[in-house]
Structure 1
């Protein structure tokens, strides 16, 4: 017990540095979250498939150009998911909340590499990336 009392400053420093190392992962919504720039790299370099889990009206109002529209409620039985379960999937919604649920479901369905666009379409727009609107 004397060791802890005598070395409290070192223990506090160790805890603070550990927290600082974990903060980027916690702050960006978890290890499975990617920024818009990282999502673009996945799409371009690894042929990631973008799955937009918004409702059809939200999708029509603005989505990533190559995105497949599969509302969250229809994801489990959807034939629009890629059959190659090794392909990376980028799950997208307006803010990222529904996309997290969709990512968990896709993993349960056997997809190996599933990430979430951190901040959703809001972050995509803020990054100045192109948004497609369907009439």
Structure 2
């Protein structure tokens, strides 16, 4: 134990960085759980979409959407979200899966949808990058 304390004292900056990163991870996870938005992987998304239990909403820009998107996904660009959110009202009781390129932009939209009263909201973890990495079909139009 004395050796550990001596090591920690000599490398205090390393330990400070470790605890800062640990605190950030814990805080992020707690906030994610409090938002009520679950993250799902591409296989879970496929299951929900195939069972006709979910609707996919892609929040990327129209050019990104045309370059490749998930079959039957609705394009609702992040910049236009607040103005066009009413287009999703008919899906309030269904699972709404939100996706973007990497999963970061869609997380904020998923949180907004949950606050707007949508019953079941999920974020596609990893976004289109994880979708294409899983070799799942993409529509190009």
The two structures have a TM-score, normalised by structure 2, of: 0.71
Equivalent residue for 1:128?
135
Q: Cα RMSD between the aligned structures?
A: 1.9
Instruction: Identify the structure with the greater helix proportion.
Output: 2
Equivalent residue for 2:103?
96
Q: 1:114: how far off?
A: 0.4
Distance change in 2, residues 1:84/1:94 (3 Å): closer
The two structures have a TM-score, normalised by structure 1, of: 0.73
User: Would you say the 8 A contact 2:95–2:119 is kept in 1?
Assistant: yes
Q: Which runs of 5+ in 1 are unaligned?
A: 1-25
User: Would you say the 8 A contact 1:39–1:117 is kept in 2?
Assistant: yes
Q: Which runs of 5+ in 2 are unaligned?
A: 1-28
Equivalent residue for 2:18?
none
Q: How many angstroms apart in 2 are the aligned matches of 1:46 and 1:113?
A: 14
Q: How many angstroms apart in 1 are the aligned matches of 2:50 and 2:89?
A: 17
Q: 1:94: how far off?
A: 0.2
Residue-pair matches, total? 108
Equivalent residue for 1:39?
45
SS at match of 1:90: strand
SS at match of 1:132: coil
- Write the deviation string for residues 12-71 of structure 1: whole angstroms up to 9, x where unpaired: xxxxxxxxxxxxxx6xx8671101000011112242000000001000101001100000
